[in-house]
Each structure stands twice: as C-alpha cells, then as structure tokens.
C-alpha cells in the first residue's frame, strides 16, 4: 500500500503539481524513513580476512516447503492415516475370525472326545457281554 501511495504521490504530486498528493507523499516518505531508522541490524556470524586463493561459500538452510509441497505432504499424511486405520480394522476383524475359529475348533474337539469316550464305553460293554 505504501508503495502505491509513494508512486502515486510522485506522479500526481511532484510531477503533476497536486498539493494533496505532495502532502500524502511527504507523509508516506516520513513513514518509510522511520521504518528505515528502526530496522533490525544484521548479525555478524563469522569474520576473518581471506588469504590469497581462498573463497567464501554461503549456504542457507533448507528452503521452507512450497504450498504445493505442503499440500502434498498433508495429502500423504491423510492417506497414511486412512491406511493405518483400515489396516487396524482389518487386524481386528482377523483377530475376531481367529477367535471364532478357535472356539469352533474347541467345540469340535469336545465332540470328538465325547464320541471317542462313547465308542470306548460301547467297546467295553461289548467285551463284557461276550
């Protein structure tokens, strides 16, 4: 906004002769001047004179992710959460099926044990009768 007002003040005020835009320009330049006065000073991190044949390489940290990268990461995170939820449901269902199957196997084993006991009893009764 200040940039627009500054440009408009220059074109309409100083070049066009409008006193209102000259006043607005003075006000805007005053604001910019005070912003310049209170700006943050740069911090010196390392200082050493360079010798002959030496060079300086400046590295910045990793660039912050772009909007596209953030959206892609969020989408992937959501898909991973959905997949883990789906797999946990699947594991629960499988555990239920295994428990039901174990119960059926136990009942079947009891029936087989009863049948075997009944056969043994009958064989014993037949041996006594003969």
Question: What are the angstrom distances between the C-alpha of 76 and each of 55, 72, 73, 84?
Answer: 42, 6, 5, 12
Is residue 77 within 8 Å of residue 85, measured between CB atoms?
Answer: no
Is 45 inside a domain boundary?
A: no
Structurally, how many domains does the chain consist of?
2
Q: Which residue has the higher pLDDT, 59 or 87?
A: 87
pLDDT at 130 over 90: no
pTM of the model: 0.37
**Helix, strand, or coil here: 117?**
helix
Full domain range(s) for residue 12? 1-36
Task: Write the pLDDT tens digit of every residue in 72-99.
Answer: 999 999 999 999 999 999 999 999 999 9
Position 7 confidence tier, pLDDT thresholds 50, 70, 90: confident
Residues making up the chain, counted from first to last: 130
For residue 89 the two structure tokens come to 């449901």
pLDDT tens digits for 98-126? Answer: 999 999 999 999 999 999 999 999 988 88
The answer to whether residue 54 is domain-embedded is no
Q: Which two tokens stand for residue 75?
A: 């989408």
Give 127's pLDDT tier (boundaries 50, 70, 90): confident
Question: Is residue 1 situated within a structural domain?
Answer: yes
12-43 pLDDT, tens digit each: 887 888 888 888 888 988 998 998 888 888 88
- How many beta carbons lie within 10 A of that of residue 62, not counting itself? 6
pLDDT of residue 111: 94
CA pair distance 6, 84, nearest whole angstrom: 56
């Amino acid at each position: 906004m200040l940039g627009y007002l500054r440009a408009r003040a220059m074109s309409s005020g100083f070049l066009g002769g409008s006193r209102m835009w000259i006043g607005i320009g003075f006000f805007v330049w005053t604001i910019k001047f005070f912003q310049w006065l209170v700006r943050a000073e740069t911090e010196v991190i390392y200082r050493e004179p360079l010798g002959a044949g030496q060079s300086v390489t400046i590295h910045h940290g990793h660039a912050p992710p772009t909007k596209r990268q953030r959206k892609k990461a969020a989408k992937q995170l959501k898909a991973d959460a959905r997949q883990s939820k789906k797999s946990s449901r699947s594991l629960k269902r499988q555990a239920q099926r295994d428990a039901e199957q174990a119960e059926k196997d136990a009942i079947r084993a009891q029936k087989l044990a009863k049948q075997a006991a009944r056969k043994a009893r009958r064989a014993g009764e037949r041996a006594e009768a003969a």
